[in-house]
């Protein structure tokens, strides 16, 4: 059936923009032509920012952007620009800061009104249809009748947007010493916000925030703080057993709307799952908890089944909605489960807490209240037999669910998010030694270098065999981080060279020598009204904090003092702020933990160097780098120079801060030098 309306978004590379291609609104993409038209027509701009898996973005589209009367107001008085925040995080970052500078709560959908020269003067998030229509009329009238006031207001917001993050937060070079007491102080600040009953932080909604628990693992490693490890265990257990996690099909949703990890916001994002695969893999390395292994394997199975393209790239997201209803794809009635599972149904219904009346909006979200051990004991059944029953039942439910109308798939590939998932696969391989994980990691790395990297330049997006948007610091940082990790489990120096080329490009094209941090955007890319630096860690760690870790690790792997000095300078500048507000800077805190105790430089030489490294990686030793070669002289890397076999057997060399231990011939002996 032909569409009544078709606008310029029909040819966009973004699935989110394509969703708006048949709105009556005359949507345009963010580009020079659209921005120039605003100046030519002297019209204010509406920039409306969202993403494909955003529930309230869909609601506002249906209520307002599909309404012809509202569209007529927008088309008459404004230049209307749609932005996918996942493709253009630079635009989103600038105008999110603007809305927050207006004293308003940020979020998506983000709707901001700009002067024709892109300066923000008003904005907000979701507006109901009546309120949106009234606001449009008011803004149009004010822009015509009080233009000077609008321009004055916009200039005021520009002063805020133009302020450097370094100046705004007082980041100085004052801190030059890092101690275990610093880590204790950070832990104590975080502890005051722990939910000690349900895990996570004591608020709702609850986001996983993997970087917080990654730091707690590192603080525990150095300070032997069992209280921090207990909070990690509690959080990982509760997230894994709650509705936040897709019990039937694997993978984590974006957040829970309640404090109990029960009611999810059903969208699944690649960046969350990549980081959580890393976190649960590290959690397993520390605790050997079977639940964590189960979660990693099931999540990677979901990744392979639903989120991987034919070339080895990973898709961006799955929508929360199907058939216009949030969560419909994932919920169950008791009768459905009973009919599908037959005689096994009673146990599984109890296990997943499914009730006749439903545990959420007359339906059931599967979740667990107790461990498999406790459940099997309560029902007096064999644990292994019960686990097999759960697997068989999950497969039956998954097969039945696959026949439902699926949530929308955002099938663009984003390099930075792929870097996070690539790192997750590498960490999973390190913890479990599963060959599939390494194969998927290597295929993804080849995909990224073949399709999203040109020389040293990285692209942000890939869809329909085309990359079209310049990479942001987030992309370079996450992909370089993954390549650095991939080298350390394969000893294939190609990945170290790829990482170095990305890092060197960012130093040339993103680095601010004066302030010692990296801009979010490439100086060769489109210039916006403000050029920002990302400092604070959020659901994704800040690109600068990842870069600091990359520079530090590469400085060790390549014996490059320039990299080390840049990394240390970055960390020095934020340390005071991390001590004050660690909850928003936990990836920085993890980087600081590497400087509290000098990292171990572990070199393995021998025919089975990679196999020995595989055994080493199963131990949680966060402050180490690992290099390897089959024989002396095989590599030109400085740390491998003059490193050969001792006693004719595989040899481990362990050094710290340019001071080395005696070479040893067993992993056990090397571990005594490392730990």
pLDDT at 474: 98
Tell me: cis bond preceding 109? Omega within 30 of 0 counts: yes
Q: Pinpoint the residues of the chain covered by CATH 3.40.30.10.
A: 8-162
Per-residue pLDDT, averaged over 149-176, amounts to 86
The residues, ordered by sequence, that sit 6+ positions from 248 with a Cβ below 8 Å of its Cβ are 330, 366, 394, 397, 398, 401
Per-residue pLDDT, averaged over 205-222, amounts to 97
pLDDT at 175: 64
* CA dist., res. 338 & res. 344, Å (int): 8
Q: Is the dihedral of CA 415, 420, 425, 429 positive or negative?
A: positive
Grade residue 284 by pLDDT with cuts at 50, 70 and 90.
very high
Closest CA to 297 of 152, 115, 424: 424
Q: How many CA atoms lie within 13 A of 14 on its CB side?
A: 24
> Is 657 or 279 the better-scoring residue by pLDDT?
279
Tokens representing residue 593 in the block? 């933990």
Closest CA to 174 of 500, 577, 631, 661: 577
**215: pLDDT strictly greater than 90:** yes
**568: pLDDT strictly greater than 80:** yes
* CA dist., res. 237 & res. 294, Å (int): 12
SS3 (DSSP) at 51: coil
Closest CA to 307 of 234, 406, 395: 406
DSSP state of 654: E
pLDDT at 366: 98
pLDDT digits (tens, 9 = 90+) for 611-669: 999 999 999 999 999 999 999 888 999 999 999 999 999 999 999 988 999 999 999 99
DSSP state of 61: I
pLDDT digits (tens, 9 = 90+) for 15-26: 999 999 999 999
Closest CA to 605 of 555, 646, 656, 556: 646
Q: What is the pLDDT of the chain when averaged over all its residues?
A: 95
Tokens representing residue 103 in the block? 């004293």
Per-residue pLDDT, averaged over 154-177, amounts to 84
What is the radius of gyration, based on Cα positions, of the chain?
A: 26
What does residue 523 show for φ and ψ, rounded to 5 degrees?
-70, -10
Pairing of β 79-84 and β 45-50? parallel
Report the chain's terminal Cα–Cα distance, integer Å.
67
Instruction: Give kind and range of the element (H or E) at residue 312.
Output: none
* CA dist., res. 237 & res. 317, Å (int): 24
**2: pLDDT strictly greater than 80:** no
* CA dist., res. 600 & res. 652, Å (int): 12
pLDDT digits (tens, 9 = 90+) for 54-91: 888 999 999 999 999 999 999 999 999 999 999 999 99
**What pTM value is reported for the model?**
0.95
pLDDT at 1: 64
* CA dist., res. 375 & res. 347, Å (int): 10
Grade residue 476 by pLDDT with cuts at 50, 70 and 90.
very high
SS3 (DSSP) at 526: coil
Grade residue 468 by pLDDT with cuts at 50, 70 and 90.
confident
* CA dist., res. 387 & res. 338, Å (int): 19
Q: Is the dihedral of CA 185, 186, 191, 193 positive or negative?
A: positive
pLDDT at 318: 96
pLDDT at 105: 85
Grade residue 421 by pLDDT with cuts at 50, 70 and 90.
very high
pLDDT at 53: 84
Q: Are 519 and 573 in contact (CB under 8 A)?
A: no
* CA dist., res. 97 & res. 93, Å (int): 6
* CA dist., res. 517 & res. 534, Å (int): 9
* Residues facing residue 649 across a β-bridge: 646
**Span of 94-108, 362-376, 542-556 with lowest mean pLDDT:** 94-108
Q: Pinpoint the residues of the chain covered by CATH 1.50.10.10.
A: 180-328+410-596
SS3 (DSSP) at 265: strand
pLDDT at 324: 87
Per-residue pLDDT, averaged over 335-340, amounts to 97
Per-residue pLDDT, averaged over 570-582, amounts to 94
**482: pLDDT strictly greater than 80:** yes
Grade residue 447 by pLDDT with cuts at 50, 70 and 90.
very high
Tokens representing residue 594 in the block? 């590497």
SS3 (DSSP) at 472: coil
Closest CA to 595 of 179, 261, 294, 191: 179
Other Cβ atoms within 10 Å of 583 Cβ, number: 18
The residues, ordered by sequence, that sit 6+ positions from 556 with a Cβ below 8 Å of its Cβ are 564, 599, 601, 625, 639
Q: Which CATH class is domain 8-162?
A: alpha beta
pLDDT at 132: 97
Cα maximum dimension of the chain:
88
Question: Is residue 69 classed exposed, middle or buried when 0-12, 13-18 and 19+ CB atoms within 10 A define those classes?
Answer: exposed
pLDDT digits (tens, 9 = 90+) for 81-110: 999 999 999 999 999 999 999 998 889 999
pLDDT at 3: 86
Share of the chain above pLDDT 70, in %: 99
Other Cβ atoms within 10 Å of 137 Cβ, number: 12
Closest CA to 246 of 203, 301, 286, 193: 301
Q: How many CA atoms lie within 13 A of 376 on its CB side?
A: 13
pLDDT digits (tens, 9 = 90+) for 226-264: 999 999 999 999 999 999 999 999 999 999 999 999 999
Considering the segment(s) 180-328+410-596 as one domain, its CATH architecture is Alpha/alpha barrel (1.50)
Q: Is the dihedral of CA 506, 512, 516, 521 positive or negative?
A: negative
Share of the chain above pLDDT 90, in %: 92
Q: Are 623 and 594 in contact (CB under 8 A)?
A: yes
Per-residue pLDDT, averaged over 143-168, amounts to 91
């Amino acid at each position: 059936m032909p569409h009544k309306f078709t606008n310029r978004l029909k040819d966009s590379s973004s699935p989110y923009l394509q969703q708006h291609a048949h709105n009556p609104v005359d949507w345009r993409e963010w580009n020079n032509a659209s921005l120039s038209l605003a100046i030519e027509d002297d019209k204010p701009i509406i920039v409306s920012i969202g993403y494909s898996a955003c529930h309230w973005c869909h609601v506002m589209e249906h209520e307002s952007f599909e309404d012809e009367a509202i569209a007529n107001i927008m088309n008459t008085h404004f230049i209307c620009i749609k932005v996918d925040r996942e493709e253009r995080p630079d635009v989103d970052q600038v105008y999110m800061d603007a809305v927050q500078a207006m004293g308003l709560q940020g979020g998506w959908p983000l709707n901001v009104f700009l002067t024709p020269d892109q300066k923000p003067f008003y904005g907000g998030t979701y507006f109901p249809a009546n309120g949106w229509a009234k606001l449009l009329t008011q803004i149009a009238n004010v822009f015509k009748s009080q233009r000077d006031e609008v321009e004055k207001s916009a200039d005021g917001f520009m002063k805020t947007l133009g302020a450097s993050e370094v100046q705004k937060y007082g980041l100085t070079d004052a801190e030059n010493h890092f101690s275990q007491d610093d880590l204790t102080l950070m832990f104590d600040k975080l502890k005051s916000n722990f939910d000690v009953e349900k895990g996570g932080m004591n608020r709702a909604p609850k986001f996983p925030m993997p970087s917080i628990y990654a730091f707690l693992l590192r603080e525990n490693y150095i300070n032997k703080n069992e209280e921090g490890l207990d909070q990690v265990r509690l959080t990982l257990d509760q997230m894994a057993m709650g509705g936040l996690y897709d019990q039937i099909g694997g993978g984590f949703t974006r957040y829970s709307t309640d404090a109990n990890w029960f009611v999810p916001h059903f969208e699944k994002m690649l960046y969350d799952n990549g980081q959580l695969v890393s976190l649960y893999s590290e959690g397993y390395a520390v605790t050997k908890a079977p639940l964590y292994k189960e979660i990693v394997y099931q999540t990677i199975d979901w990744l392979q089944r639903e989120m991987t393209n034919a070339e080895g790239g990973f898709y961006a997201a799955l929508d929360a909605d199907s058939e216009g209803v949030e969560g419909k794809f994932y919920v169950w009635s008791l009768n459905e489960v009973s009919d599908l599972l037959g005689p096994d149904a009673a146990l599984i219904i109890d296990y997943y807490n499914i009730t006749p009346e439903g545990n959420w909006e007359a339906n059931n979200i599967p979740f667990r209240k107790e461990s498999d051990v406790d459940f099997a004991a309560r029902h007096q059944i064999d644990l292994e037999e019960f686990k097999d029953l759960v697997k068989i039942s999950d497969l039956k439910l998954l097969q039945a669910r696959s026949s439902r109308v699926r949530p929308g798939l955002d099938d663009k590939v984003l390099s930075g998010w792929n870097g996070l998932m690539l790192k997750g696969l590498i960490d999973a391989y390190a913890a479990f030694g599963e060959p599939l994980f390494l194969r998927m990691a290597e295929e993804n790395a080849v995909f990224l270098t073949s399709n999203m990297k040109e020389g040293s330049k990285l692209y942000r997006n890939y869809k329909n065999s085309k990359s079209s948007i310049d990479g942001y610091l987030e992309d370079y940082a996450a992909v370089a981080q993954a390549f650095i990790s991939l080298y350390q489990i394969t000893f294939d120096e190609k990945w170290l060279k790829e990482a170095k080329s990305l890092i060197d490009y960012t130093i040339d094209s993103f680095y601010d020598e004066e302030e010692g941090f990296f801009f979010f955007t490439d100086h060769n890319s489109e210039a916006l009204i403000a050029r920002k630096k990302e400092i604070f860690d959020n659901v994704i760690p800040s690109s600068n904090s990842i870069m600091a870790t990359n520079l530090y690790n590469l400085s060790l792997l390549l014996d490059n003092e320039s990299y080390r000095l840049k990394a240390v300078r970055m960390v020095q500048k934020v340390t005071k702020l991390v001590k004050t507000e660690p909850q928003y800077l936990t990836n920085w805190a993890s980087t600081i933990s590497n400087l509290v105790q000098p990292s171990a430089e572990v070199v393995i030489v021998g025919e089975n160097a990679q196999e020995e490294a595989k055994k080493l990686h199963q131990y949680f030793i966060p402050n180490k780098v690992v290099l390897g070669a089959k024989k002396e002289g095989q590599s030109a890397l400085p740390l491998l120079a003059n490193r050969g076999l001792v006693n004719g057997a595989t040899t481990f060399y362990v050094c710290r801060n340019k001071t080395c231990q005696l070479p040893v011939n067993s992993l056990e002996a090397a571990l005594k030098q490392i730990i």
